[in-house]
Amino acid sequence: MKNNRLYINGISSISAQQENAVFDGNINTYHQNIIPAVSPDYKQFIQPMALRRMSKAIRMGLTSAKIALKQAGITKPDAIITGTGEGCKQDTEKFLEAILNQNEKLLTPTAFIQSTHNTIGGQLAQYLECTGYNVTYTQNSASFESVLMDAQLLFLEDQEMNSILVGGVDELSKKMTSFMYLDHQLKEQEISNSNLLKTNSSGTITSEGAHFFSISAEKSEKTYAELIDVSVFQAKTSEDVSEKILKMLQLSNYTIEDIDLVILGNNGDNRFDHFYHHLQNGLFSEKPQLAYKHLTGDYKTVSGYAVWLACKIFKTGSIPEIFKLNGVTCQNPKTILLYNQYLGDNHSIMILNSN
């Protein structure tokens, strides 16, 4: 019998909020719709001569991965699986601008080399000297979830596989991110992030970040959570989502009563938040409900933050007020369900358990 258990033993978050500070009540507030991530001191993790060429996605990815692995006590994982919705946009933009400005002549190599989506996975392999399985998933707003699904399959297929580094990274870039205003992904008016979920308008706010996790087939004293299951699907209506959640719970041998808390991806976009509101007022009306995108902005791999948050709640037993959507309380939740969608597409459900 092959192992199908998947334990999260190391976690790391780089986002618009300082890692761990939200649990101390220190919240960063912004009055802008495009919010850069808070950079840790990258020099503590990456040699300066290597750092000089890295765009923010690579810096964030490497740093976050190193923190997660260190927590889990892993120096070299057996496999690396990376998710990125939009890849290394900063270097792509730099390279495209050079093509235009220099009339397609005298182009330098660095930005081009680092402009591909799998640059982060490649750099991780190089830094960790990991020559094992290395795949990057680009599946829009389900990129991070696709990574977890592949990790599940990898553990099922390979008996020898014990440690996998998984993560999601996305970065901002000057021009390409600003294009999100053009197709109304971002709100027209600049807003304060703390008011995001109170707005009644189309669009959201965006940001960048990296969330890496060291996962293992074996539970240890370092374990934060077990990933029970992950699913990505398309849904036309809110009712479809409820149906899908119930079906997934059934397949995992869980019932709605087993869910202690839900983390939802509300992003203040009044065209699509009904998917969340339907669950808040229906299936999960009696469950503690949390949201996080008013702190992190929305981007293609932001659901990594939700997994990080669930792990932190399991470990600390505390739930900061800033995340709460309702007044239902819960002491030491054991099972957390995460639901996310973006622009009505790529609906995803993840179930995590602390046992």
Partner 1 sequence: MSDLRTELKQSIIEQLNLEELELADIDNDEPLFGDGLGLDSIDALELIVMLEKDYGIKLTDPEQGKEIFASIDKMAEYIEANRTK
Site for partner 1, rule CB under 8 A? 48-49, 52-53, 102, 106-110, 113
Residue 345, both tokens:
């597409």
Q: How far is the CB of 53 from partner 1 (least distance, A)?
A: 6
Task: Please identify, using beta-carbon distances, which residue of 54 and 142 lies nearer to partner 1.
Answer: 54
As a whole number of angstroms, the distance between CA 347 and CA 354 comes to 24
Task: Please identify, using beta-carbon distances, which residue of 36 and 132 lies nearer to partner 1.
Answer: 36
Q: How far is the CB of 108 from partner 1 (least distance, A)?
A: 5
| Of 61, 95, 44, 355, nearest in space to 227 by CA | 355
* Residues 219, 5 contacting (CB under 8 angstroms): yes
Q: How far apart, in Å, are the Cα atoms of 44 and each of 2, 77, 167? A: 39, 21, 20
**Own/partner pairs, 216-220, CB within 8 angstroms, 24+ separation:** 216/6, 216/7, 216/9, 216/72, 216/162, 216/163, 216/164, 217/3, 217/5, 217/6, 217/7, 217/155, 217/161, 217/162, 218/5, 218/7, 218/162, 219/5, 219/7, 220/7, 220/9
* Residues 201, 188 contacting (CB under 8 angstroms): yes
Q: How far is the CB of 39 from partner 1 (least distance, A)?
A: 14
Q: How far is the CB of 86 from partner 1 (least distance, A)?
A: 22
As a whole number of angstroms, the distance between CA 263 and CA 261 comes to 7
| Of 315, 320, 310, nearest in space to 352 by CA | 310
Task: Please identify, using beta-carbon distances, which residue of 57 and 313 lies nearer to partner 1.
Answer: 57
| Of 94, 108, 27, nearest in space to 58 by CA | 94
Residue whose tokens read 């739930």: 319
Task: Please identify, using beta-carbon distances, which residue of 114 and 231 lies nearer to partner 1.
Answer: 114
Give the contacts of 302 (CB within 8 A, at least 6 positions apart): 15, 170, 207, 209, 265, 292, 293, 296, 340
CA atoms within a 13 Å half-sphere pointing along the CA-CB vector of 46 = 24
Q: How far is the CB of 138 from partner 1 (least distance, A)?
A: 25
Task: Please identify, using beta-carbon distances, which residue of 40 and 320 lies nearer to partner 1.
Answer: 40
Q: How far is the CB of 54 from partner 1 (least distance, A)?
A: 9
Task: Please identify, using beta-carbon distances, which residue of 75 and 108 lies nearer to partner 1.
Answer: 108
Q: How far is the CB of 124 from partner 1 (least distance, A)?
A: 19
| Of 79, 84, 60, 70, nearest in space to 6 by CA | 79
Task: Please identify, using beta-carbon distances, which residue of 108 and 159 lies nearer to partner 1.
Answer: 108
Q: How far is the CB of 109 from partner 1 (least distance, A)?
A: 5
Q: How far apart, in Å, are the Cα atoms of 96 and each of 51, 101, 105, 175? A: 22, 9, 12, 11
Q: How far is the CB of 80 from partner 1 (least distance, A)?
A: 22
Task: Please identify, using beta-carbon distances, which residue of 53 and 277 lies nearer to partner 1.
Answer: 53
Task: Please identify, using beta-carbon distances, which residue of 96 and 197 lies nearer to partner 1.
Answer: 96
